[in-house]
Amino acid sequence: MRKDIFKLFLLLLFLPNLELLAQDPVSWHWEVKSTRKSSNSYDLHFSINPPRGWLLYAPNAMISDVPTVELAFSDSSIRVDGPLQVSGTVKKEKISIFDSAEFSVLESAAEFIAPITVTGTVPAMLNGTLKYNYSKGDEFYPAEFRFETSLEGGQSNTARIKLPSIDLKNPVNACGGTGIDENGGSLWGIFVLGFLGGLIALLTPCVFPMIPLTVSFFTKRAQNRSKGIQNALLYGFFIFLIYVALSLPFHFLNSASPEILNTISTNIWLNLFFFLIFVVFALSFFGLFEITLPSGLANKVDSRASIAGGVLGIFFMALTLALVSFSCTGPILGSLLAGSLSSNGGAWQLTVGMGGFGLALALPFAIFALFPNWLHNIPKSGGWLTTVKIVLGFIELALAVKFLSNADLVTHWGILKRETFLAIWIIIGILVVAYLFGVLKFKQDPVRRPLGKLRIAFGLIFLAFTLYLVPGLTKSRYANLSLLSGFPPPLSYSLYGKELIQLVGLEANYVNDYEAAIKKARAENKPVLIDFTGWACVNCRRMEENVWTDQKVKSLIDKNYILVSLYVDDRKILPATQQFNYVQEDGDRKFIQTVGDKYSSFQSENFVNVSQPLYVVINPDEKLMTRPVGYTPNAKEYAAWLECGLEAFRSLPAAGR
């Protein structure tokens, strides 16, 4: 079975943010107002004057089971009562692109009137989306218009985003701070992970046999040895360059909005897509079918490599390798890409990771070109490559569960609690061990010989890892698997409820309720420790499970601070009274619709930072005590920063506390 998934991958990767990439070919200008009918009933009036030559489809009809005009609200307390009324000249028109089917359309000024009822608290400002369709000749476009209008008698939104009392340049104490050193360490870690991923990719059946073939091709084809070495080095450089180039589009996305990579990585549908894709990759590794790019694309690139000479020909040879090895490198590359996107630091982390991956793939071609005699010492292709591929299939299944967990966490479905997640990984681990020790067999396996030492060694490693996971199923202090922090769901997302986090870690006084935390801080005269975090944030879990569990850190926070955790990727919809359009510092408008929208804007506007975790200490009057800090894996360093925050708080006059 042949699967053209590359285009699908790119399409679904950007699907959640298509509004950033697509432009409406026609500029439509709607005007909205509301009239009050009763205490909770209103009429919304949408006025439009269609551009000359274009037809606007009238409401209360369907196009292939899709409404011609639809009014949508994120809050279920707002409902549309009955069909939309039309004020204007409506005519019947046969539309050629729909096999001359007849539709009611408008081509001059018109008004739609929508009766709505608010069953909950009436908001002072109502936000919604009007979806409509229009056409001209053989052109047809669906479109939508996000609107905001005031409702008479509604309750005003009291949510705060920008805090005028925050002065980042002048905290009470100058300790802390998030600097370039922190990101530098993170980039090196990403590079190493990418490099290791590339080394694993080298051991797959699609890449490993290409090493001696390609190196021999360069050394034999060249007029002399130095020219052959030069060509092979150039070939390796182009491999590196191709993989780095794959990350470049994300730099444009990141420059458009610093929060976009976090938005993409925590998008529900994208994580579900990754889950399905990784399951497909796993099944392919198990031999059920083969995933390849379209043969026409690979053949076209290969033909360019054959006819083009010099540098250009070598480039197309490198591109051919990248394409034909996709069925093996794709899953590993996908893991790297998805993992980098869900980290913090923007597109540069992805570029560095891709660079490490490309460098690991390119190195053998350069090394063996310099020392061709070494080719005789590398293992011959054989059944061991099949073993590597099947083990990678099990690893892909484990990664698939991680992406399903991300979607579950940000939506609070509750289907993959921490213990359920670990149980699935334990089952996968048992299957890997059974396969490596010959108990479980696959059709594609060669004739089984006595187990080799290397296979036994890896079997024991996987067995040890599986046994390490087992205490994670218990309600005990051993349930905190510190080596895996960030991969399973947090301790607070447990089948045991809050009992596990109370036993092992530190529970926030408030979750996603900044105002309640400030109120409690004023009542108890304590500073507030703001934890900007995310459900899908790996480093956040590492801090919670490795640093916050340190006895000194835990005691400092528990006794001296009001801890509030604000999840910037929480997709819970806010009530209509708390939804609004916020004008940011740069003048752009952002629609605050979810809990995550609210607190990601709160973080970026006040602390000029979109990375998680980010820790901030303020006093009850919302004055900054120290410089904020980010990921701080050293418990002593983090405890010193907490003590500095307390010292700053206590140094203020009593009225300032």
Q: What is the pLDDT of residues 335-347, one digit of tens each?
A: 565 555 544 555 6
Determine the average pLDDT of the residues in 589-595: 87
Q: What percent of the chain has pLDDT over 70?
A: 77
295 confidence band (pLDDT: 50, 70, 90): low
The whole-number pLDDT of residue 406 equals 87
Determine the average pLDDT of the residues in 272-296: 74
The whole-number pLDDT of residue 252 equals 65
Residue 580 pLDDT greater than 90, yes or no: no
Least confident range from 128-142, 282-296, 402-416, 540-554: namely 282-296
Residue 19 pLDDT greater than 50, yes or no: no
Q: Which of 74-78, 382-386, 639-643 has the highest mean pLDDT?
A: 639-643
CATH of domain 506-656: 3.40.30.10
Q: CA-to-CA distance for 53 and 50, rounded, in angstroms?
A: 8
* Backbone dihedral angles phi then psi of residue 375, each to the nearest 5 degrees: -60, -30
Residue 320 pLDDT greater than 90, yes or no: no
Cβ count near 146 (within 10 Å): 15
244 confidence band (pLDDT: 50, 70, 90): confident
**Short-list 278, 367, 361, CA closest to 324:** 361
Radius of gyration of the chain (CA): 29
The whole-number pLDDT of residue 172 equals 92
* Backbone dihedral angles phi then psi of residue 192, each to the nearest 5 degrees: -65, -45
Mean of per-residue pLDDT scores for the chain: 80
The whole-number pLDDT of residue 17 equals 41
Determine the average pLDDT of the residues in 588-599: 88
Least confident range from 92-96, 148-152, 371-375, 492-496: namely 371-375
Residue 584 pLDDT greater than 60, yes or no: yes
Tokens, residue 127: 């936000």
Least confident range from 291-305, 481-495, 611-625: namely 291-305
Determine the average pLDDT of the residues in 74-82: 89
Cβ count near 592 (within 10 Å): 22
Residue 256 pLDDT greater than 60, yes or no: no
Q: Is the peptide bond before 115 cis (omega within 30 degrees of 0)?
A: no
What CATH superfamily classification does 17-150 receive?
Thiol:disulfide interchange protein DsbD, N-terminal domain (2.60.40.1250)
The whole-number pLDDT of residue 343 equals 45
Determine the average pLDDT of the residues in 69-78: 89
Determine the average pLDDT of the residues in 91-110: 87
Determine the average pLDDT of the residues in 550-573: 93
Tell me the per-residue pLDDT of 421-442, one tens digit each, with 9 for 90 and over.
Answer: 999 999 999 999 999 998 888 8
The whole-number pLDDT of residue 223 equals 56
* Backbone dihedral angles phi then psi of residue 123, each to the nearest 5 degrees: -80, 150
Higher pLDDT, 538 or 550: 550
Q: CA-to-CA distance for 599 and 259, rounded, in angstroms?
A: 12
Higher pLDDT, 636 or 293: 636
The whole-number pLDDT of residue 182 equals 45
**Short-list 39, 37, 38, CA closest to 121:** 39
Q: Do domains 17-150 and 506-656 have the same CATH topology?
A: no
Determine the average pLDDT of the residues in 131-136: 91
Residue 586 pLDDT greater than 80, yes or no: no
Query: Domain segments of the chain: what residues?
Result: 17-150, 182-382, 506-656
164, 604, 636, 645 from 174: Cα distances, Å: 19, 20, 18, 10
Can you state the percent helix, strand and coil of the chain, rounding each to 5? 50, 15, 35
The whole-number pLDDT of residue 268 equals 83
**DSSP 3-state of 581:** strand
**Short-list 644, 655, 490, CA closest to 560:** 644
Least confident range from 333-347, 382-396, 614-628: namely 333-347
Q: Which of 38-42, 178-182, 234-238, 423-427 has the highest mean pLDDT?
A: 423-427
Least confident range from 54-58, 497-501, 595-599: namely 497-501
Q: CA-to-CA distance for 6 and 9, rounded, in angstroms?
A: 5
Determine the average pLDDT of the residues in 125-141: 90
201 confidence band (pLDDT: 50, 70, 90): confident
Q: What percent of the chain has pLDDT over 90?
A: 32
204, 205, 321, 428, 443 from 214: Cα distances, Å: 16, 15, 10, 36, 30
Residue 382 pLDDT greater than 80, yes or no: no
220 confidence band (pLDDT: 50, 70, 90): low
Q: CA-to-CA distance for 653 and 635, rounded, in angstroms?
A: 30
Determine the average pLDDT of the residues in 522-528: 95
Q: What is the pTM of this model?
A: 0.74
* Cα of 410 vs its chain's centroid, Å: 11
Residue 652 pLDDT greater than 70, yes or no: yes
